[in-house]
């Protein structure tokens, strides 16, 4: 008897969830998943990593030079062999390199922060536009970020649809860029063809 009640309750709750999803005009989107799984998000993350690696390489190279100079200062035999002018020049070089290192650190921090903010703004805009199209297609009154919810029924999740819409737009833009590049390449290869048009 109790088994029949439990099955009835589970069936009723499943039907209620399905009915709620069908009647609900609300969609939930996972912002982080859109960033990590969309083609635009992957491209932006890759470009950020390239910039981060460039900045890191510059800092590592400068740090290596600083370490080499510091080792010379710690080598008393080396210092004894230098003239006072050469030692002063070495100190000046070390100070200049230290200032360069600090400047590179600041520039790196600023560049990475600015790039990160630009990426987040770009992706927010793209997710917003895609969510709007999904909302129109599914007749949703609202699509909210998952982080704004304490709980939501999984059937309300439209993240996959939003990513698919983002990828469509991305593919269209990529095709336009490739076509433009091909036309430019063709025009450079055959300048007469451009004047005939």
User: Six-digit token pair at 184?
Assistant: 């430019």
Residue 19 confidence (pLDDT) above 50: no
Quote the percentage of the chain above a pLDDT of 90.
Answer: 63
Average pLDDT of the chain to the nearest whole number: 85
State whether the Cα torsion 138-142-143-148 is positive or negative: negative
What integer pLDDT is reported at residue 76 of this predicted model? 86
**Nearest Cα to 97, choosing from 120, 121, 132, 65?**
65
pLDDT, one tens digit per residue, over 74-103 is 888 888 888 889 888 988 999 999 999 999
User: Six-digit token pair at 110?
Assistant: 């600023």
What are the two backbone dihedrals, phi and then psi, of residue 25, each rounded to the nearest 5 degrees? -115, 40
State whether the Cα torsion 61-64-69-72 is positive or negative: negative
What domains sit in the chain, N to C, each tagged with a CATH number?
25-182 (3.30.910.20)
Q: Between these two residues, 7 and 46, which has the higher pLDDT value? A: 46
State whether the Cα torsion 38-41-43-45 is positive or negative: negative
pLDDT, one tens digit per residue, over 99-152 is 999 999 999 999 999 999 999 999 999 999 999 999 999 999 999 999 999 999
Using CB atoms within 10 A of its CB, is residue 67 exposed (0-12), middle (13-18) or buried (19+)? exposed
Distance CA 176, CA 70 (A): 53
DSSP-assigned states of every residue in the chain: -HHHHHHHHHHHHHHHHHHHHHH--EEEE-HHHHHHHSHHHHHHHHHHHHHHHHHHHHHHHHHHHHHHHHHHHH-HHHHHTS-HHHHHHHHHHHHHHHHHHHHHHHHHHHHHHHHHHHHHHHHHHHHHHHHHHHHHHHT-SEEEEGGG-S---GGGB-HHHHHHHHHHHHHHHHHHHHHHHHHHHHHHH-HHHHHH-
Q: How much is the average pLDDT of 34-42?
A: 96
Distances (CA, A) of 20 to 93, 146, 151, 153: 71, 18, 14, 9
Q: How much is the average pLDDT of 50-58?
A: 93
- The contacts of residue 73 (CB under 8 Å, 6+ apart) are 79, 90, 94
């Amino acid at each position: 008897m109790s088994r029949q009640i439990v099955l009835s309750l589970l069936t009723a709750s499943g039907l209620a969830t399905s009915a709620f999803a069908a009647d609900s005009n609300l969609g939930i989107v996972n912002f982080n998943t859109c960033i990590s799984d969309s083609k635009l998000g992957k491209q932006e993350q890759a470009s950020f990593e390239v910039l981060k690696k460039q900045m890191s390489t510059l800092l590592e190279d400068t740090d290596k030079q600083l370490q080499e100079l510091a080792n010379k200062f710690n080598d008393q035999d080396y210092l004894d062999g230098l003239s006072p002018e050469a030692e002063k020049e070495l100190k000046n070089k070390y100070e200049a390199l230290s200032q360069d290192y600090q400047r590179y650190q600041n520039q790196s921090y600023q560049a990475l922060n600015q790039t990160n903010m630009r990426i987040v703004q770009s992706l927010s805009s793209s997710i917003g536009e895609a969510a709007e199209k999904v909302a129109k297609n599914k007749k949703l009154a609202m699509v909210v970020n998952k982080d704004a919810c304490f709980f939501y029924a999984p059937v309300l999740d439209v993240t996959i649809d939003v990513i698919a819409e983002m990828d469509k737009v991305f593919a269209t833009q990529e095709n336009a860029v490739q076509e433009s590049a091909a036309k430019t390449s063709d025009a450079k290869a055959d300048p007469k063809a451009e004047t005939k048009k």
